[in-house]
Structure 1
Amino acid sequence: MDFNSGNGGGGGANELHNNQFYQCEENKPLLGEMSEGNNNTKLSAGPCKRSLHHCSSSGMRYKLLHEGDIQVCVVKHPRTFLSKILTSKYLRRWEPHHLTLTDSSLTSATPTGYMETSLSYSSIEDLQLLSWDNAPKYCVQLSFPGGTVLLQAANSYLRDQWFHSLQWKKKIYKYRKVLNNPSRWDVVLKEIRALVDMALTSPLQDESIHQAPLHIISTLLAENSNFSTQDHENIIVAIAPLLENNHPPPDLCEFFCKHCRERPRSMVVIEVFTPVVQRILKHNMDFGKCPRLRLFTQEYILALNELNAGMEVVKKFVHSMHGPTGQCPHPRVLPNLVAVCLAAIYSCYEEFINSRDNSPSLKEIRNGCQQQNERKPPMPLRLLRPEPPTPPSATLLHLSANPSPPQPPPSAPSNPAPSIPISSQTPSLPLSLPPSVVNSSEILVELERNNNSTNARRKAGPSGGDREPNLIDCLLVSPAVNTLSIQLPAQADRVLGCFALILKMLSDYDDWRPALASLLQPIPFPKEALAHAKFTKELKYVIQKFAEDPRQEVHSCLLSVRSGKDGWFQLYSPGGVACDDDGELFASMVHILMGSCYKTKKFLLSLAENKLGPCMLLALRGNQTMVEILCLMLEYNIIENKDTQLQIISTLESTQVGLRMYEQLCDRQRELKELHACSCSHTPSTV
């Protein structure tokens, strides 16, 4: 049956339109004036009449219907006496149909009979409930030109559910059509307010009830770029009630990001965006599924940073997310904030990373690292220094005069100098720098490489050099990264400072520190950030907080996630790319680790293999933790090389605290030997 080709209708139509019916909502805006503070820029809506059924005091809620089974009857408006007889209630018939409520029409799964053609929402003139005495039970009336469609449900609840669902579909279709083709700005704003009010007051419960208006408005903003900034703010204020309990869709997030960038000092950012961002941080479960939510949060924080005393505003915002109590009640806030910080920090180096002239690829870094490990001649890669290697001076020829294959390290003389084991282990390594520019950090790195190569040859044998180096090893030995000069633009530098400050603030909260340490344990930063002195200096505060925390779940995250990978402990130790304090943070990390369950022979062996040089230098400066480490290495026989043992003993005897602890060690060893000898002498002989 064609529902759209009717005529004007006769007197019989009045039979279905009497004063006892529930009146439907008029197609007029439902919202009047906005708040008094904004009435100077908001347009008022005309008077409206709310549906009596819609505003009933019962407070019933219904699920939005998308399809269902129902009885259908179509009544044509009669114009003659014969047609009145043919359309009387005694001759009416009902057809069962499975109806689907699409975005634009009401269709049947079996397009026959009354529902041979779909009923467009635009052709529905009126939507009401039948309630007179002799009317069929549980019916919804849909008036169209030339007739009426009656839908009969099984009970009153299903009838009301069909009524509100059809009403919602019809109205949302109208608003989508009007706002997709805007004519005047005052009409657009008035319709947006009416759409928001309809969504807020609807008795239907469904995710699309609030999301559909947001998508309509986001499409409007995306397709119309000629709105002024004031128009944008009016729209944001109008849709603010919908955002209290809903995430903005991706297109709307992009619009919000643009507003934050262009007008960071707008009051809309503080008054409207703040609760939206707070809800995102509290309830979002995965930024990977909605990256624009993360980008909007990032731009909002940067807008706060642009205000007067921006850093203080950012601090207050982070504090408001944690709450005044000692335990944050929202478990998703910290992971979401960390995700925003990591993405923002990566964006600071993104331009540098994408530049092939500045940033070496990871494959090239690894190739350069493997060349150093295998002692092969350097390849003419972009990674290596542009200047040719400097020939060795005459004073150093005696250190590399033997061109034969590498032999086991020779025994050191009785008074070893710190520079002797440095060059004796590298007979065939070409010198790339003059001896005059070698500094103490390079000496420490070379000493650690010597220890690592000796231990690797002792443990792994000929196949030990085939392992794939990790990222921090590449940062240590790659000349390109060691000499990398990173200069960020002014805006990127401000972004880096803002989000590094947030990471510092997160580490100040005791309840957040364990989870923060766990999230940062894999070092989730680009290699360019680790080679940037400003970033590692800012992040040092966070690592120091981890090193000062007595909880094992916190300070254990200073170590690597698994064997074969390096962690913050290696990165901030002497010789690491982030160490700038001559080992003070390294000593703090060793102290807290040795104070817990890491006072083991395995941990001491790792220090002896990788960080013996820094431990000795710090012990020479009187660091008590390092003195204790060296004494434990001697007590547990960690060091097998006699010459190295003599160097450790000489180091201990160079300071008062070291001499005292070494004498105590000797006393314990002497007493242990005497006790052992005494127990052996009193052992009865066996017959």
Structure 2
Amino acid sequence: MADVAQKKIYKYKKVLSNPSRWEVVLKEIRTLVDMALTSPLQDDSINQAPLEIVSKLLSENTNLTTQEHENIIVAIAPLLENNHPPPDLCEFFCKHCRERPRSMVVIEVFTPVVQRILKHNMDFGKCPRLRLFTQEYILALNELNAGMEVVKKFIQSMHGPTGHCPHPRVLPNLVAVCLAAIYSCYEEFINSRDNSPSLKEIRNGCQQPCDRKPTLPLRLLHPSPDLVSQEATLSEARLKSVVVASSEIHVEVEHTSTAKPALTASAGNDSEPNLIDCLMVSPACSTMSIELGPQADRTLGCYVEILKLLSDYDDWRPSLASLLQPIPFPKEALAHEKFTKELKYVIQRFAEDPRQEVHSCLLSVRAGKDGWFQLYSPGGVACDDDGELFASMVHILMGSCYKTKKFLLSLAENKLGPCMLLALRGNQTMVEILCLMLEYNIIDNNDTQLQIISTLESTGVGKRMYEQLCERQRELKELQRKGGPTRLTLPSKSTDADLARLLSSGSFGNLENLSLAFTNVTSACAEHLIKLPSLKQLNLWSTQFGDAGLRLLSEHLTMLQVLNLCETPVTDAGLLALSSMKSLCSLNMNSTKLSADTYEDLKAKLPNLKEVDVRYTEAW
């Protein structure tokens, strides 16, 4: 039977290789499709062969009329219900979408094909023309009278009516299409930029004068006062030549006057620049002047709007945040005001989501790289407000496990000015930030501390919170005053409030051993535990103490020697933070969600660890 099918396919291939009259060809195509659909053989090649034959036929006959195009598409439509179109056929479909976006074929025939691609495609890298076809199809929908409303309904159909999309591949495939489409909008600028020396090449130094095209002007992020003062003069200058030395960058400019001063900037080391470094430019150009063509502008608007739509679905938002966390956009897009302004809605949705897996993606994907938090904070390339989004991001991050010294230290080093300005305007989150900086001794400079105190006392909410801070500091001094017991055990079923009440009753400067085993304390009690200066042994057996509290302990109780976490809900996310507690010599992680990899990591980073209990864990 297989031989019979192959003979029929060969026959049709031969007949269609020399078309004479297209009405006959169309009839043969329909017969070929019927043969493939009615064949009892369960063989993918039986269905793919007609598509490949038609694909070859169309590629060799480019002078067909529009009506003939549509007739052929309708004829092969039944085969496309369960098969992806081959590459050449995808190109033919793309052409039809571009030339006849309002054709009913786009809605009636292409829609189920694209839906199948989005639901089942596993890797657009192996079949880029499928992605291009999907991209052109969505643009064709956007060309209809209803425009984005049609696109929105298509996205809704892909998600489904329930609160959870049943097809896990839809979101990553849609994001891949969006990223490719947005990249294509800036392709002309990217190609121009690729002809210019990279920042790494400049830092490594070139011995010959550079004769490449000058780089595109990008938005200046952190102009120094000297550079800003020269901006007006440099804007009248014309770039004459670029001479790159091994340690400095010399840019000679030709002025209308007889003077010819040179601008010199330190090249720094030869390390790979991060995202913000790549956006640093000559002070002569404070913004990037990008004028997209009409088609590119429509494409950009369409696909940024799709990203907005995707961010509105609660079940898609965690994965979307994870996919966008590495900032997978060209730097030209990030320096384009229209793009960053439109994308701000997506970042705002991430900042409003209470789930840690979502808003944690605002931070950089790894150390040394910048994330959305940096880009949309004051001084960042994408910031276009007075810090409202920045305050929103800080608020949600501070409300989760990022209420730590490391996060506060980063804010103090990089964003202290914006924090003080927003606190001066009465932003409660920023007032809390400044109070925590004082409480955790983040600020070493005395003048800066006084300035922060003045800022806090300038508003009602700041003054009230600073007074509360002073009261806590007085209580802390009393708590840490030498005296009191060296060992303390709380009764079972004690709560966080009970622990706080007990520690506020006297001095515990000598407390070395604290047992909270079988109590009802949670991670919230960590803010009280970190105030015990002499604590060396802590028993949290069978409590609700979790990852957030563990992170806080790891930053403050660095002298802790014995820690019992048996039967607590801690996971790898919190246990990894223990690697900074170098004094630990005994650690009980019995019946926790410890993984084998985390256990090996802890053993490598805790040299003094002698006693470890990992029974009833994955590492056992």
The TM-score, its normalising length taken from structure 1, stands at 0.62
Deviation readout 1:627-672 (Å, 9 max, x if unpaired): 1001100000001111111111111112111111111111111222
2:338 alignment partner in structure 1: 534
Preserved contact between residue 365 and residue 383 of structure 1 (Cα < 8 Å): no
1:648 alignment partner in structure 2: 452
Preserved contact between residue 480 and residue 508 of structure 2 (Cα < 8 Å): no
- Measured in 2, the distance between the counterparts of 1:485 and 1:179 equals 52
Aligned AA for 2:355? R
- Measured in 2, the distance between the counterparts of 1:385 and 1:323 equals 44
Deviation at 1:363, TM superposition (A): 4.8
Aligned AA for 1:520? L
CA distance 1:476–1:547, shift in 2 (3 Å): farther
CA distance 1:551–1:253, shift in 2 (3 Å): same
Deviation at 1:432, TM superposition (A): 2.8
2:132 alignment partner in structure 1: 295
**Structure 1 residue 564 corresponds to structure 2 residue 362:** no
Deviation at 1:349, TM superposition (A): 0.4
- Measured in 2, the distance between the counterparts of 1:564 and 1:479 equals 24
- Measured in 2, the distance between the counterparts of 1:185 and 1:237 equals 15
- Pick the structure with greater CA Rg: 1
- Measured in 2, the distance between the counterparts of 1:682 and 1:303 equals 73
CA distance 1:505–1:652, shift in 2 (3 Å): same
1:595 alignment partner in structure 2: 399
Aligned AA for 1:315? K
Deviation at 1:362, TM superposition (A): 7.8
- Measured in 2, the distance between the counterparts of 1:608 and 1:682 equals 32
Deviation at 1:480, TM superposition (A): 7.1
- Measured in 2, the distance between the counterparts of 1:683 and 1:613 equals 37
Q: Which consecutive unaligned segments of at least 5 residues does structure 2 have?
A: 206-210, 236-266, 485-505, 511-620
Q: Which consecutive unaligned segments of at least 5 residues does structure 1 have?
A: 1-163, 372-378, 387-421, 438-462
CA distance 1:384–1:543, shift in 2 (3 Å): closer
Deviation at 1:479, TM superposition (A): 4.0
Deviation readout 1:436-458 (Å, 9 max, x if unpaired): x9xxxxxxxxxxxxxxxxxxxxx
Q: Which has the higher contact order (CA 8 A, sep 6+)?
A: 1
1:637 alignment partner in structure 2: 441
Matches within 5 A, 1:21-420: 164-355=1-192, 359=193, 363-365=197-199, 382=214
Preserved contact between residue 189 and residue 216 of structure 2 (Cα < 8 Å): no
CA distance 1:217–1:589, shift in 2 (3 Å): same
Aligned AA for 2:186? Y
Preserved contact between residue 369 and residue 478 of structure 1 (Cα < 8 Å): no
Count of aligned residue pairs for this structure pair: 450
Aligned AA for 2:122? M
Preserved contact between residue 476 and residue 575 of structure 1 (Cα < 8 Å): no
Query: What is the root-mean-square deviation in Å for CA atoms of aligned residues?
Result: 3.0
CA distance 1:321–1:575, shift in 2 (3 Å): same
Deviation at 1:366, TM superposition (A): 5.1
Matches within 5 A, 1:548-563: 548-563=352-367
What is the identity percentage for the equivalent residue pairs of Structure 1 and Structure 2? Answer: 81
CA distance 1:682–1:479, shift in 2 (3 Å): closer
DSSP 3-state at the match of 2:422: helix
Deviation at 1:278, TM superposition (A): 0.2
Aligned AA for 1:364? S
Deviation at 1:620, TM superposition (A): 1.1
Aligned with 2:409 (options 581, 605, 608): 605
- Measured in 2, the distance between the counterparts of 1:216 and 1:620 equals 71
Preserved contact between residue 475 and residue 482 of structure 1 (Cα < 8 Å): no
Deviation readout 1:132-186 (Å, 9 max, x if unpaired): xxxxxxxxxxxxxxxxxxxxxxxxxxxxxxxx11211111111000101001111
Preserved contact between residue 196 and residue 215 of structure 2 (Cα < 8 Å): no
Preserved contact between residue 218 and residue 252 of structure 1 (Cα < 8 Å): yes
- Measured in 2, the distance between the counterparts of 1:271 and 1:380 equals 50
DSSP 3-state at the match of 1:550: coil
- Measured in 1, the distance between the counterparts of 2:31 and 2:462 equals 80
DSSP 3-state at the match of 2:292: coil
Preserved contact between residue 322 and residue 361 of structure 2 (Cα < 8 Å): yes
Preserved contact between residue 186 and residue 333 of structure 2 (Cα < 8 Å): yes
Preserved contact between residue 633 and residue 639 of structure 1 (Cα < 8 Å): yes
- Measured in 1, the distance between the counterparts of 2:322 and 2:293 equals 31
Aligned AA for 2:198? E
Matches within 5 A, 1:491-510: 491-510=295-314
Deviation readout 1:54-91 (Å, 9 max, x if unpaired): xxxxxxxxxxxxxxxxxxxxxxxxxxxxxxxxxxxxxx
Deviation readout 1:248-273 (Å, 9 max, x if unpaired): 00000000000000000000000000
Deviation at 1:493, TM superposition (A): 0.4
CA distance 1:608–1:344, shift in 2 (3 Å): same
2:230 alignment partner in structure 1: 432
- Measured in 1, the distance between the counterparts of 2:216 and 2:73 equals 54
CA distance 1:464–1:642, shift in 2 (3 Å): farther
DSSP 3-state at the match of 2:198: helix
The TM-score, its normalising length taken from structure 2, stands at 0.68
Preserved contact between residue 142 and residue 150 of structure 2 (Cα < 8 Å): yes
Preserved contact between residue 500 and residue 539 of structure 1 (Cα < 8 Å): yes
